[in-house]
A = this chain, B = another copy of it.
Amino acid sequence: MGALDEGHYHSEIENEVNLELGFEVQPETVAIKDAVKVLLQGLGEDINREGIKKTPFRVAKALREGTRGYKQKVNDIVHGALFPEAGLEGGSGQAGGVGGLVIVRDLDLFSYCESCLLPFQVKCHVGYVPSGQRVVGLSKLSRVADIFAKRLQSPQRLANEICAGLQNGIKPTGVAVVLQCSHIHFPNFETAFLDSTPQGWVKILVTSGSGVFEDEKADVWTDFLSLLKFRGISIESAHPRLSDQSWCPSQSCGRLGQANSAITNAVLSILKSLGEDPSREELVGTPSRFVKWFMNFSNSNLEMKLNGFVRSRIDTRIHPGQVGSFKDGICSELNLSFWSQCEHHLLPFQGVVHIGYYSLDGLNPVGRALLQSVVHFYGFKLQVQERLTRQIAETVSLLLGEDIIVVVEANHTCMISRGIEKFGSNTATFAVLGRFSTDPAARAKFLQSLPDSCSAGK
């Protein structure tokens, strides 16, 4: 077929976006790459190892792309997309270009948390009341929202800036913005080994209004929220507005210790390279908060736990007599939570681990807590999901016998906050050892026991 004769394609590095000419040698790119090398070394990593040697470039590209909103202007977006549209011909009321609410719902965006530098997800709903006999192309509401999302933000400021941007750009009778924001939970490293409940996401709903929406008790808000409500959105929390000062888990993850100054300076350098002012109030503590979260993924932090783990393993191997008879013998520990850090993009991925094994008495001979420790041991470092899955399987096989199945289900921050922006996508990886690799019925039995809903997130 002629159409499949592929022409020459000018590929950029990794092909993720069309980069500007010279992107790689721009001072901001170089500065971020250098800073990321410091971060990697701070984790005790070899920055030349395969897998992470291109990570500094990937991170620089993702961060600069993900904050491109600093360089974008609302008027460039809406210019040429304001269309003349008549209002009512007669009678009293609102419709068309001189009134009549226009709503675009369920726009998926992501933004960067100014408190910890991690991306957060945004479900954005925008409404406006046209005036001046003109309406704006519907897609522009999404594009304008994206200008402000692609910056370091807090949810409330993001809502306010989208609202003000649209108000100034379109000059309508009023603009209303409702954002449902979801932020990844931070691992509490100290307690993560004891509590294996998957934590989902920190969520907040914020609103902002201008013009006829400026008064949050105005009836037009009721109209707007009515049409969101029946899309399954709870609006109880919309009024009064929640404070978003403390929504980011970094604000409540305990006192900041003495941070490594080289690493903190590297984060400062990144902030500057993105065009931010690190001395603005909301950003002053950001480098320290970032470092506190980030250093959870340092290899060395886990040596202590490893020691405890090795001891448990030996104990278990000494007392095999614990195992008795039980039905067909397939047992499972489901929904063990994990946090990890994608070594390709230095972005978290989190989710759940399901482990299947054989036990004649139906009992887990080593206890759920030890399995959770194994999961955290391999999770709290720079990883890829495939390796994490294999390492858990190999280690668990020393504890629970050679017949093991491990399924890891995860949400990858890097799948939403970079070029592909695949909101809602998620991943599953398998490892099968011993009987589980040769017995499809055993695999099927285990897979059917997995929980129905995606415990990995949301």
Residues of A that sit less than 8 Å from B by CB: 1-4, 6-9, 11, 13-16, 18, 50-51, 54, 70-73, 76-77, 79-81, 83-97, 99-108, 130, 135, 137-139, 142-143, 146, 151-152, 219, 222-223, 226-227, 230-232, 274-277, 280, 344, 384-387, 389-390, 393-394, 397, 402, 404, 406-407, 412, 414-415, 418-434, 436-438, 440, 443-444, 447-448, 450-454
Contact = CB atoms under 8 A, between A and B. Distances in A.
B433 A107 contact: no
B13 A80 contact: yes
Nearest to A83: B51
A223 B447 contact: yes
Contact of A420 (B99, B143, B387): B143
Contacts of A80: 13-14, 54
Contacts of A454: 231
Contacts of A280: 1-3
As for how many copies of this chain the complex holds, the number is 2
21 contacts: A4-B70, A7-B71, A14-B81, A85-B387, A88-B431, A89-B394, A90-B394, A92-B437, A94-B432, A95-B394, A100-B390, A100-B430, A102-B386, A105-B426, A105-B427, A106-B425, A138-B414, A139-B414, A139-B422, A142-B425, A223-B430
A101 B390 contact: no
10 shortest interchain CB distances as A-B pairs = A95-B431, A93-B433, A219-B440, A96-B390, A11-B76, A95-B390, A226-B447, A93-B437, A2-B277, A101-B430
Q: Pick the most buried of A1, A412, A436: most chain B CB atoms within 10 A of its CB.
A: A1
Contacts of A139: 16, 414-415, 418-420, 422
B9 A85 contact: no
Contacts of A6: 70-73
Contact of A84 (B50, B421, B452): B50
A426 to B, nearest CB: 6
Given A2-B280, A277-B3, A434 B100 contact: no
Nearest to A441: B219
B437 A70 contact: no
Q: Pick the most buried of A6, A86, A421, A454: most chain B CB atoms within 10 A of its CB.
A: A6
Q: Pick the most buried of A88, A425, A444, A453: most chain B CB atoms within 10 A of its CB.
A: A425
Q: Pick the most buried of A15, A16, A87, A437: most chain B CB atoms within 10 A of its CB.
A: A15
